[in-house]
Every structure is written in C-alpha cells, then in structure tokens.
Amino acid sequence: MTTAVIITAAGRGLRAGGDLPKQWQMLAGRPVLARTIAAFTGFEVVITVHSADLERAKSLFSGQIVLGGADRAASVRAGLQALAGRGVTRVLIHDGARPLISREVIERVLSALETHPAAAPALPVTDALWRGADGLVAGTADRAGLYRAQTPQGFNFEAILSAHLSYNIPAADDVEVARAAGLNVAIVAGDEANIKLTYAGDFARAEAMIKELAMDIRPDIRLGNGFDVHAFCEGDNVWLCGHKIAHSKGLLGHSDADVGMHALTDAIYGALADGDIGQHFPPTDPQWKGAASHIFLKHAMARARARGYNLANCDVTLICERPKIGPHANAMRAALAAIMGVDVGKVSVKATTSERLGFTGREEGIAALATATLVQG
C-alpha cells in the first residue's frame, strides 16, 4: 500500500495571538509547522496553505504545496485532488497545529486501516460534562461513549476522495465527512501529548512537553557538500568568498562568479536536500545576470532558518595557483560570516594548489569545495 499525508495549514489561527498564524509561530526554536512536517518523515507529504503564506511555505518545505480553500474541508479536498491519480491507496490527514504527534499514534492509525476503511485517534472523555447558560451550570450530560477527536485521521484514499467530492457543507473534521458517506471509522488510542495548539497558553504547555519528553535530545544534524568551478577571463579583479581581490584576470560566470560562495551556497542547499543554485536562480533567467552572490547565500540561509536549522560550521577550500588566498582568508571569513549572520568562528576559509596539475594548475580557472553542517533546534 502507498500512504500519503495531507497536513492542513491554511487556517488563520488568530486565537493563539501573535503576529503570525499559529502554525507559523515558533515553538521551542522551530516553526510549529516544521515540527509537524518532521513527524511524518519518510511519507509523501502535501501541505495546504493560505495564499498569503505561500512564499513562507516554500522557504520551509520543498515538497508539494497546495493552496487551501475557504474552510478546512475545502483545503482537504484540494489536497486530495492533488494526490489523485498518483497511486496513493491510503491517506493520513493531520492538523498542522498538532506538532507533537508521535510515531506510535501514526502506526496505530495505519494498523487499523488494514481492516477498516477509516480510522482516527481519540481520547475518552473523563471529566464531568456540564451544560451552561448565562454563566451558570444549567445541567449535566452523560460522558459515556464520548471521545476527544485527534489527528491524523486515516482513510482509504478513493473512499475519502469520493466522500469529500460529494460533501459540500462545513465539517468539524474528516471523520464527519467519512461518516456522512457511510464509512465505518475505527477508533484507536490517542495521546495526551498530541495537543492542538489553539490558544497562547497551549504553546507553553507544548514547550513543557517537548522538554519532558526530551524530543530534542537528538537534534537533526545535516551535512552538505558543494563544488564549483569558474574559468578565468579578461579582467582586473576576482570576487572570492565575498571579498574583492585585485588580480590580472577576472572570473567568467553568469553572476559575479564568486566560486567560493557558490560552493558554500550549494553545500547549504545540499544539507537541506533542497536542490542547488541553478534550481533556485536559473542561469537562463536574465535577472540574475551579474548578480552579487551574497543574494544566493542569504537565500540558502533563510531557507535553513525557516526550517529550524542553524549553521554549526562551514569550511571552504579554494583550489588555485593564484591569487594567493592566505593574506585574504580572514577577510573572506568575516565577509561570509556577515552575509550568513553567524559568528566568524563558525566559518573556515583555506586554500590549496593542485601542484601545477590540471586546469587549476595551468591557471585556467579556480575550483572550490565547501562543506556545511546544519543543526536543527
């Protein structure tokens, strides 16, 4: 069976307060939505977002992003339609504002789908239930058989797609849509930690749970490598690692040909599994002709930070006979650190020659190698 995940993140979440919808706010150093997406590592994930958040979503997530609708049901329907025809047999639908979902709950839902067309986690209601009017208790209600619904809610893909396509009124959740279509929904055990962030106080509760559960003891550490080459051309200076050096030649490139910064930028993209410079800034696009390379490096760092990563360290090696790099290495380190917004102690720049071998040895150009380490949290 092929399982996909739809994470709903198109809501405005204004009850939580703050300048951003709750799914984009920070929780223990990482965006809420970044934590939610990370919980489904290994699955094909589609996120639904509001049009106002599209660029923010692109900086956070490199997978498929779908514009949501006027309500939750419309957003889920859009996500389901985006997955149609791709061989998906099961789908999990999860709230973007539930970042503490555990793998155990996910597996319980998937296990129930082996024998049921739909399944969802829930917790039995244990508190007494009252009815109220005008600030007074007006009566009580029987709590027997009542549950607090959670997500992810899982479904046979074709069944829930058909149900959503024929359901045109607001729904509390996807279980309501499924039941309206006649699907039996199995209840599996939920988790008290799987809270939905709704109010400002929920963020404090969630942070306390993160510390208690030691969810960040093993931070996600990413390592990326970058390599770039630029040929010499006519000129009187070169840009290397953000530093301008007088030289008898220039470097040929679509942008400013800063070979060191290009390699470092690709190392950061590589650590994120987020493509390379050419994908983000195509050389066929004339707007990047002669562009300063710090634009690319800042973009890579912004995407890293949006996903909750910080730079642990980076190392750039320039391979050339000339110009001599040693006298300029500290200036290059300082320039790169300023562009990335990190302490200069996290940045290494060094050089070597190829012992007069190859194109660098013949002084036909400069090559650069770079490594970057990103740590989440």
Question: At residue 175, does pLDDT exceed 60?
Answer: yes
Same fold? 3-212, 221-376 = no
Write the burial class of residue 207 (CB in 10 Å: 0-12 exposed, 13-18 middle, 19+ buried).
middle
Predicted local distance difference test score (pLDDT) of residue 12: 84
Q: Is the dihedral of CA 328, 330, 333, 337 positive or negative?
A: negative
* pTM of model > 0.85: no
Predicted local distance difference test score (pLDDT) of residue 131: 94
The predicted-structure confidence for 358-376, as pLDDT tens digits, reads as follows: 999 999 999 999 999 999 8
Mean pLDDT of the chain: 94
Predicted local distance difference test score (pLDDT) of residue 119: 98
Predicted local distance difference test score (pLDDT) of residue 289: 87
Class of domain 3-212: alpha beta
Predicted local distance difference test score (pLDDT) of residue 218: 66
Question: What is the DSSP secondary structure assignment for residue 195, as one 8-state letter?
Answer: P
Predicted local distance difference test score (pLDDT) of residue 215: 55
The predicted-structure confidence for 261-295, as pLDDT tens digits, reads as follows: 999 999 999 999 999 999 999 988 888 888 899 99
The predicted-structure confidence for 284-324, as pLDDT tens digits, reads as follows: 888 888 889 999 999 999 999 988 899 999 999 999 999 99
Domain ranges within the chain, ordered by starting residue: 3-212, 221-376
What is the percentage of the chain residues whose pLDDT exceeds 70? Answer: 98
The predicted-structure confidence for 98-122, as pLDDT tens digits, reads as follows: 999 999 999 999 999 999 999 999 9
Contact 153, 92 (CB under 8 A): yes
The predicted-structure confidence for 181-210, as pLDDT tens digits, reads as follows: 999 999 999 999 999 999 999 999 999 988
The predicted-structure confidence for 219-259, as pLDDT tens digits, reads as follows: 789 999 999 999 999 999 999 999 999 999 999 988 899 99
Contact 322, 232 (CB under 8 A): no
DSSP H stretches of helix in the chain = 32-38, 54-60, 72-83, 103-112, 157-165, 174-180, 200-212, 259-271, 277-280, 294-306, 329-340, 358-361
Mean pLDDT of 70-84: 95
**What crossing angle do the helices spanning 294-306 and 329-340 adopt, rounded to 10°?**
50
Question: At residue 377, does pLDDT exceed 80?
Answer: no
Predicted local distance difference test score (pLDDT) of residue 104: 96
Tokens of 144: 């027997």
CATH number at 221-376: 3.30.1330.50
